[in-house]
Amino acid sequence: MEDIYHPEVDVECLEDYVPGEYHPTLIGDTFSWVWGYSTIWLARDQQRRRYVSLKIMAARASPDSHEGEVLKYLMKNDLSHAGKRFIPPLLDQFSFHGPNGHHRCLVGEPAGCSISKSKEDSTNFMFPPDAARSTAAQLLLGLSYLHANGICQGDIHLRNFLLRMPNFDDLSTAELYKRFGELYEVPIRRVDGNPGAPHAPPHAIYPMAVSMPANELYNPEIITSDYGTSFIVSQTASPTLHTPALYSPPEDFFNEPIIHPTAADVWTLGVNLYEVLGERPLFETFTWDRDDIIAEMINTLGQPPSRWWNSWAKRSEFFNEDGSWVADFRRISTPVFRRLPQRLWDMGRGETGQTCEWDVKGGELRALEDLLRAMMAFEPAERPTADQILKSEYMVKWALPAWERQKGQHSPSR
């Protein structure tokens, strides 16, 4: 069975160990320096005696990558901004030439798993209520810092929000393996029987198992990672978004120019916030079909601007002219009509005012609805800025106070 490659296993695509793609890296390799585009390794900086993350970009992506420059730029600006804390520091960057081409490398702080993985590993797919509020505040503060410095994230989703881990620089290699698990190597063999070297390594390494179940995290601290598709707004006239379809703003679905890129970020973060605060995604579709997603947007938020409503080619498969569901629905999934208020009750926090974990009497659900509805206004120009969102009722009364309480404790922790 070792000769069989199982693509569902969470390792890099092994077929991408070819010229122009990944560099064949092995445990024990030494690099000297004074995710579809890269592999990321935990490395040891022998000079400074610390663990670091080493991001080795694919050779074809290296020449056009500006991620290092973006991170370097963000490190220098507005040091007093509260959101800078959630931007990963760039410790170093360098380049080298390997059998598959020339690779750029970024050196940063090691982090834990993503919010997405943390939720998947938990028993109820949710953070504790105050941890969820604090996380929402951190994500908004981080976005505020990016936008204040003219940077558009361009690809916001839960896999790019990483959980910060306690420092473990003092651990020996043996102690590191004891805490996170021994190395598990899987041989790589070409189907045609030819040797994979020098372009591919002799074996793949299973990812380090960092278990951080969301339901056990009471003081999570977030790092907003991956700036491979980010851009400087003032220097990018016609940006292209790389956001996964489930989180993309409606203007991208209807092929309109992205003339308000920071507003696109705001929509996308709004969709993510619902998932961070609750159990499941805001929009639930079959295989992320784009028309299903548009229908879910309308299902949740109401009828979109007429230019989109009238130009949507498959509208009649979902809606009648008056916006009601069609009676003879023939698509694979069965529609459930749920506006935003109902979806807030369906977050998994309790179905009644007595059982709900949110501050129902204090108005938290209403304030959260107002926040998400503003962030996901169909018209990009009508969405609030990140700084305006930080002044919203929900952020001021619930999210930011939760983050302030967390800062007064040991963070990050369980």
Please report, rounded to a whole number, the percentage of residues in the chain having pLDDT higher than 90: 61
Query: How would residue 180 be classed by pLDDT, with cut points 50, 70 and 90?
Result: confident
| Single-letter amino acid code for the residue at 76 | K
Whether the per-residue pLDDT at 2 is higher than 60: the answer is: no
Please give the Cα distance from 376 to 370 (Å, whole number).
Answer: 10
Least confident of 39-48, 215-224, 300-309, 400-409: 39-48
In a domain, 413, yes or no: no
Residues 298 and 378 both lie in one domain = yes
In which region does residue 236 sit, left (phi positive, over 0), alpha (psi from -120 to 50) or beta (all else)? beta
Q: What is the mean pLDDT of residues 342-362?
A: 95
Residues 178 and 296 in one domain: no
Does the residue 60 lie in any domain? yes
Q: Above 70 in pLDDT, residue 410?
A: no
| Per-residue confidence (pLDDT) for residue 411, from 0 to 100 | 56
Q: Which two tokens stand for residue 102?
A: 């020339």
Instruction: Indicate which CATH number applies to the domain containing 196.
Output: 3.30.200.20
CA distances from 214 to 71, 100, 112, 115, 296 (A): 28, 39, 12, 8, 26
The predicted model scores a pTM of: 0.90
Domains identified in the chain, total number: 2
pLDDT tens-digit readout, 88-115: 999 999 999 999 999 999 999 999 999 9
Confidence class for position 264, pLDDT limits 50, 70, 90 = very high
The pLDDT value given to residue 16: 76
Q: Look at residue 175 and tell me whether its pLDDT is greater than 60.
A: yes
Whether 148 and 201 share a structural domain: no
DSSP state of 397: I
Considering the domain architecture, whether residues 38 and 157 belong to the same structural domain is answered as no
In this predicted model, what pLDDT tens digit does every residue of 275-332 receive, in sequence order? 999 999 999 887 788 999 999 999 999 999 999 999 999 999 999 888 888 877 777 7
Q: Is residue 238 situated within a structural domain?
A: yes
Distance CA 239, CA 376 (A): 20
Q: Is residue 7 part of a domain?
A: yes
Do 105 and 120 fall within a single domain?
no
The larger pLDDT score, comparing residue 372 to residue 60, is at 372
Q: Are residues 304 and 250 in the same domain?
A: yes
Q: Give pLDDT, residue 77.
A: 74
Range of the domain at 254: 112-165+210-407
Which is more confidently placed, 336 or 225? 225
Proportion of the chain above pLDDT 70, given as a percent: 92
Looking at residue 207, its pLDDT comes to: 83
CA triple 120-122-123, angle to 5 deg: 120
Q: Are residues 132 and 251 in the same domain?
A: yes
Cα–Cα distance for residue pair 162/110, rounded to 1 Å: 10
Which band of pLDDT confidence, cut at 50, 70 and 90, is reported for residue 177? confident
Instruction: Using the predicted structure, report yes or no on whether residue 35 has a pLDDT greater than 50.
Output: no
Residue 361 domain flag: yes
Q: What is the mean pLDDT of residues 341-361?
A: 95
Of 189, 207, 225, the last residue of a domain is 207
Highest mean pLDDT among 6-10, 157-161, 217-221: 217-221
pLDDT of residue 4: 41
Domain match, 186 and 274 both: no
Kindly state whether residues 157 and 232 are assigned to the same domain. yes
Q: What pLDDT is stored for residue 191 in this prediction? A: 87
Is the Cβ–Cβ distance between 113 and 198 less than 8 Å? no
In a domain, 143, yes or no: yes
Neighbours of 1 (CB within 10 A): 4
Contact 156, 266 (CB under 8 A): no
Q: Is residue 414 part of a domain?
A: no
**Residue 318 shares a structural domain with residue 382:** yes
CATH code for the domain in which residue 238 is found:
1.10.510.10
Q: Which two tokens stand for residue 137?
A: 């505040």
- Mean pLDDT score of the chain: 89
- Do 105 and 119 share a domain, yes or no? no
321 compared with 405, residue with greater pLDDT: 405
- 3 has pLDDT over 50: no
Q: Residue 164 corresponds to which tokens in the numbers above?
A: 């910060």
| Residue 201 and residue 214 share a domain | no
- With b meaning 16 or more CB within 10 Å and e meaning fewer, what string describes 301-320? beebeeebbeebeebeebbe
Residue 84 lies in a domain: no
For residue 241, give the nearest of 233, 226, 229 by alpha carbon: 229
Q: What is the model's pLDDT at position 128? A: 98
Q: What is the pLDDT of residue 20?
A: 66
- 77-89 residue pLDDT tens: 777 899 999 999 9
Torsion of CA 383, 274, 111, 80, to 10 degrees: 40
